[in-house]
Structure 1
C-alpha cells in the first residue's frame, strides 16, 4: 500500500521559497513607492541666517519674513560663482522694486578677496554675509558652490539650484513669487 499523498498534495519547498520571495518583492516595491495619495510635500522652512555683513551691518533672514529672499552661496575662488555674479546683480536691480531681497553667503573667503569681486561684477548692492568657516553653509545643506535658494514670504525654501543659475530659472521662479498679491 502506498502511503504517499498524491503529487498535488505533496509539499513543495522550492515553490514556497519562490512565493515568499515574490511576495517580499511586491511588498518592498509598494513600500518604496510611498503612499499613492501623498501629494506635494510642503516646502521646508529656511534655516536661520543672521550675522554681521561684509559692510559692517547686520543681516537677519527672520526679519525679512513677508518678503522674497534670494540666498546665493558663493566664493571668490570659484570660477562659476564669478561668472554668475553679474547676472545675480542684474537680477537684483530688476526685481528689487517688486520686493526681492538678496543676500550672498560668502564661503571661506576674506573681505580683501570679496570686495574687488563685487566691484568688478557691479554687484556692490548685494548684502554679503561672510561664512569664513562654512558652518552657515552646512546648516543650509550646501554641498558646493555656487548654490542658490529662493525663500518665499513665509520663510520657506521654495526653489533650490545647485550650480550656476540661469536667467530663465531666475525669471521663472521670481515672476511667480513676486506676482502682485
Structure 2
C-alpha cells in the first residue's frame, strides 16, 4: 500500500518537472516586454556609437564573445545576414572579452563588415536582457526589442522573424 502511495505521488511530480523543463523551447521565447535598450558605447576600434546610427531599419543585435564556441558557429550566418538582407542592420555586442581577442575573432570569422560594441563589464548585455552568449535580439525600426533568440541563430529563425519587418 505504501509503495502504491509513493508511486502515486512521485510519478505526477516527475511528469510535472519534465513538462516544465521540456515544455518551452528557450531559444524562441519572445522578449518579455517591449522596450528600447540604450546601446550607446564604443566600437571595438574605439569609435563612439549611438543607437541613432541604426534607426529606420530593423536590427539584429548579437551578443557574443571570442571564447564562445556556439558564437563561432553562428557568425557565418550573421555575416551572410549583414551582406544579403537589404534593409537590415547587424550589430555585435562583444561581452566580457579583451579587445585583441575580439578583433582576432572578427578577422577569423570575416565579421568586420558590421559594427561591434565593446561590452567589457556586461552593461550592454544587461541593458538588452541577455542571459548569456550567444543571444540575438531583433529590434524594430524604432529600436524596440520585439524578439530574441537564446542560443545560436539558425537560418529558419531569421527567415521566420526578419522578412516580416522589411518593406515589400
Give the TM-score normalised by structure 2. 0.76
Q: Name structure 1 gaps, 5 residues minimum.
A: 1-40
* 1:123 pairs with one of 96, 100, 111: 111
RMSD: 1.8
Contact kept, 8 Å, 2:34 with 2:144, in 1: the verdict is yes
Aligned to 2:43: 53
Following superposition, the deviation at residue 70 of structure 1 comes to: 0.9
SS at match of 1:73: strand
Equivalent positions of 1:1-181 (< 5 A) are 44-95=34-85, 98-180=86-168
Give the distance between the partners of 1:72 and 1:121, measured in 2 at CA: 14
Following superposition, the deviation at residue 64 of structure 1 comes to: 2.3
Give the distance between the partners of 1:178 and 1:55, measured in 2 at CA: 30
SS at match of 1:88: helix
Following superposition, the deviation at residue 178 of structure 1 comes to: 1.4
Contact kept, 8 Å, 1:43 with 1:156, in 2: the verdict is no
Aligned residues: 138
Give the distance between the partners of 2:99 and 2:160, measured in 1 at CA: 33
Q: Name structure 2 gaps, 5 residues minimum.
A: 1-30
Give the distance between the partners of 1:177 and 1:71, measured in 2 at CA: 15
Larger Rg: 1
Give the distance between the partners of 1:154 and 1:62, measured in 2 at CA: 9
